[in-house]
Amino acid sequence: GVSVRLGAVVKEFETETGELIRALDGLSLDVAAGEFIAIVGPSGCGKSTLLNILAGLDRASTGLVEIGGAPARGPHPEAGVVFQSDYLLPWRSVLDNVLLPIEIKGLDRKAHVPAAEQLLADVGLAGFGAKKPSELSGGMRQRAGICRAIIQKPGLLLMDEPFGALDALTREQMIIDLQALWLRLGNTVIFITHGIDEAVFLADRVIVLSPRPGRIDLDLKVDMARP
Ligand code: ADP
Ligand code: ADP
């Protein structure tokens, strides 16, 4: 995994009326390589803003953003992202969705097919590669989305409420499966969730953001015995 460092990160948005909204107000956070961090907090506290900045989808107004010890500019090659919505391309097969990052990077698609099929099998989707996303359940599509995020073995996995749209039972199974996957990958994970239960179960460290935008209320080390 890679380390992440945020130093006094400020993010301001301008509204249509020209008013400035401070989504992050001087956030500082150090994440060690291989650490699994969960970020919780009330709606509007800046969780998605933080993740979008780390994913390179947005830029901090001021402050330091480092991934793997170097300033982050734009989408980072070491970062894989999973959102609440799976964003699978409906006209592509599940396998071709998983292989999308490989194609975008101009790498040899064929050479990566066995790895993609193995990943799908790892998350319980063996035999579903040829199906279209619409033929899968919500949980299965989210699993495929995770496969697409990790096909390139990212040093940093960013997840924004990946299970937020799933029913309780599916969600519980996904949490267990994600833990198994992470124990094998050992990459750094930043996991945004509304579920304090899944945060405590999965993470080494739980960060609670304050309703005051992007301030840390609580930084808690979780010491659970791992399987
Ligand atoms: P959540 O609480 O689940 O993160 P939000 O509704 O706060 O969901 O945000 C979802 C997305 O919409 C975020 O990526 C955010 O950047 C964007 N967003 C949130 N508020 C606004 C806004 N006032 N104007 C434009 N985009 C927004
Ligand atoms: P969370 O994910 O914790 O719900 P967000 O990061 O989505 O919070 O939003 C933090 C604050 O920034 C909110 O007040 C939200 O309305 C605002 N915001 C987020 N994205 C935008 C945007 N693109 N334009 C304007 N305001 C935004």
Query: In this structure, is the dihedral angle defined by the CA atoms of residues 126, 129, 132 and 138, taken in order, positive or negative?
Result: positive
Q: Name the residue of 43, 49, 207 to mutate for ligand 2: max ligand atoms within 8 A of Cβ.
A: 49
Q: Name the residue of 48, 57, 58, 163 to mutate for ligand 1: max ligand atoms within 8 A of Cβ.
A: 48
- Ligand nearest to C-alpha 41: 2
Q: Around 193, how many Cα atoms within 13 Å sit in the side-chain half-sphere? A: 22
* CA 68 vs CA 2, 58, 83, 184, 217: distances in Å: 5, 18, 22, 20, 26
The confidence score (pLDDT) of residue 75 equals 85
Q: What is the CA(90)–ligand 1 centre distance, in A?
A: 24
**CB 17 less than 6 A from any atom of ligand 1:** no
Rounded Cα distance between 9 and 24, Å, is 7
**Mean pLDDT, the chain, whole residue set:** 92
pTM (predicted TM-score): 0.89
Rounded Cα distance between 190 and 30, Å, is 11
**CB 11 less than 6 A from any atom of ligand 1:** no
Over the stretch 109-123, which tens digit does the pLDDT of each residue have? 999 999 999 999 988
Q: What is the CA(88)–ligand 1 centre distance, in A?
A: 20
Over the stretch 120-140, which tens digit does the pLDDT of each residue have? 998 889 999 999 999 999 999
226 pLDDT above the threshold of 80: no
Helix (H) or strand (E) holding 206: strand 205-209
Tell me what the mean pLDDT of segment 3-32 comes to.
Answer: 94
Q: Name the residue of 9, 10, 12, 13 to mutate for ligand 2: max ligand atoms within 8 A of Cβ.
A: 13
